Structure 1
Amino acid sequence: MIEELRHNYGFLFEEELIEEINQVGVFKEVPAGYKLIEIGEYIKSMPLLISGSVKILREDENGDELLLYYIERGDTCAMTFSCCIGLAKSQIRAVAETDAKLIMVPVQKMEEWMGKYKTWQNFILRSYHARMTELLEAVDTIAFLKMDDRILKYLQDKAKVIGNDEIHSTHQEIAHDLHTSRVVVSRLLKKLENIGKIKLNRNNITVIDL
C-alpha cells in the first residue's frame, strides 16, 4: 500500500505523513456500485482515492437522488471531513462509479494531522475549495441549463472521469442521476445524436463532443 500512497500522494505529503497513513489507513478494493458512505450514518473514516472514481449524491425527502460531483484518483471528499469534525451524520451518499482502490483514514487521525502537518491542512482546504466550486457548478447547471445541455454535460463529465468516451449507462440510470424521467432522457439523447453531439449504440453512448 505504501508504494501506491507514494505514487498518488507523495507529491502532496511528506514521507512522515505517508508512513502514518500507511500505518493507520485501511486499504479497500471495491466494485462499481459499492456504497462507501450512506446518508444518515456517522462517518468514522474518510476515503483517499488510489484509483477509480466515486460519485457523490444527495437525496430529497422522496428518496430521489441528485448527482453533485465526482472524486477521482489523488482526491478526497471534504464534505465527509466536515461531518467527521462536527460528529454529524452524513448528508451525502458516496458510490463507486467504477471499480476503485482507496484508503480509509480514521477520523481521529484526520483532526490530529490538521495541526501536525501543514501539507495535510493544505490538502483538506484545497479539497474544500474544489468541492465548493463543483457544488456551485451543479447549482448553476440545475438553475440555468436546459435539460438537454444538462444531459450532455453529465455525459461529458462522466467520460472524463472514467477516461473513456463510451458511457455504459442506461437511460434510466442517467434519469436517476439527473432527477428526471427516462422518457425525457431518451427523447433528448436522440436530439443530441441528431445534432452530432453523441452517438447512441445498442449498449453504450459515445460522446463525440468532448
Structure 2
Amino acid sequence: MTLADWIEQLPFLNQLTADEKRRLETDAQLVEVPSHTKLFSPGDECGAFLLVIDGSVRVQMVGDNGREIVLYRVESGQTCVLTTACLLSHEAYNAEALTEEKTTAIALPARAFQEFLATSNGFRDLVFASYGQRISSLVLLVEEVAFKRIDVRLAQFIARHKDSNGVVKKTHYDLAVELGSAREVISRQLKEFEKKGWIELHRGKLIVKKPEDLKSFISHHCD
C-alpha cells in the first residue's frame, strides 16, 4: 500500500480534513524498519514524528549499572511520547527504542510536525490525546516500580501474558527488563513460584500450572 492509501484508511487520521491529509501525503514518508533495529539512543536528536501503522517498537531505559526497564511499547495507531516530548522541547532523547518486529510507520519531519501542530486542530488533538494517555501509563509504571512488591508484579505479568496453554515465552532476563528488576531477583522469585507448584520453569519459557493459585495470590495482595 502507498502512503496515500494508508492515510485514507487509518482510523486515527479520520479527524484530519481532506486538505490536511493531502499535506500529510506531501510532507511525510512511509518507512519500513526491519525487526530488532535501534531507532534512537540517548543523546540522539529527534528528526521526525512517527505514527506507527503496523509492528511494535519497544522504548526502554538502561541504567549505569546495565539494568534495563521497558517504559512502553508503540504499536499500531500509536505515537511515541518521548519523540513528541523531544520535538516540543527541542531536546535530545534520554532513552532508546528498538523494533520488536518489522514495523511500518508514517514519518513526519520535525519542521512539518511543528507546522501541523500550529495549524491543524485534528492533528493537535491526535498528538496530545496520545501524549496524555502515555503519560498516565508512565505514572502507573513509576508507582508500580516504586511501591509494589516485585513478587506481586511478577505474578501479574505472568497472569497477563500467558497464552491459552499457560505458556509465557520469556527468559528470566526478559522478565527482569519488563519489570525493571535484576535478573537474579526475578530468578529467585520464579524459583519460589515453582516450589509452590504455581509454575514450571523451562529454558526460555515458563508454564503456569496452577492459574487459580496465582490469581488468588494477586487478589490477596492487591485488595
If the TM-score is normalised by the length of the shorter chain, which range does it land in? 0.7 to 0.9
* Identity %, equivalent residues: 25
Contact 2:34 2:103 in 1 (8 A): yes
Contact 1:35 1:93 in 2 (8 A): yes
Counterparts of 1:205 and 1:12, CA distance in 2: 44
Match of 1:58? 61
Instruction: Work out whether 1:142 is the aligned partner of 2:145.
Output: yes
Deviation at 1:146, TM superposition (A): 1.2
Counterparts of 2:158 and 2:187, CA distance in 1: 13
Contact 1:5 1:50 in 2 (8 A): no
> Structure 1 unaligned runs (5+)?
none
Instruction: Work out whether 1:82 is the aligned partner of 2:85.
Output: yes
Match of 1:26? 29
In the alignment, which of 17, 20, 26 is matched to residue 20 of structure 2? 17
Secondary structure (helix, strand or coil) at the match of 1:16 reads helix
Secondary structure (helix, strand or coil) at the match of 2:83 reads helix
Match of 2:130? 127
Contact 2:69 2:181 in 1 (8 A): no
Using the TM superposition, name which of 56-65 and 90-99 deviates more.
Answer: 56-65
Counterparts of 1:77 and 1:140, CA distance in 2: 21
TM-score scaled by structure 1?
Answer: 0.81
Amino acid at match of 1:184: V
Contact 2:41 2:97 in 1 (8 A): yes
Match of 1:49? 52
> Structure 2 unaligned runs (5+)?
216-223
Contact 2:48 2:110 in 1 (8 A): yes
Secondary structure (helix, strand or coil) at the match of 1:130 reads helix
Counterparts of 2:108 and 2:6, CA distance in 1: 15
Q: Deviations over 1:15-67 (max 9, x none)?
A: 33333222222322223321112110010112110012222212333443221
Deviation at 1:101, TM superposition (A): 1.3
Deviation at 1:143, TM superposition (A): 1.4
Q: 1:104 to 1:172 in 2, by over 3 A?
A: same
TM-score scaled by structure 2?
Answer: 0.77
Instruction: Work out whether 1:70 is the aligned partner of 2:73.
Output: yes
Secondary structure (helix, strand or coil) at the match of 2:170 reads coil
Larger radius of gyration: 2
| Count of residue correspondences | 206
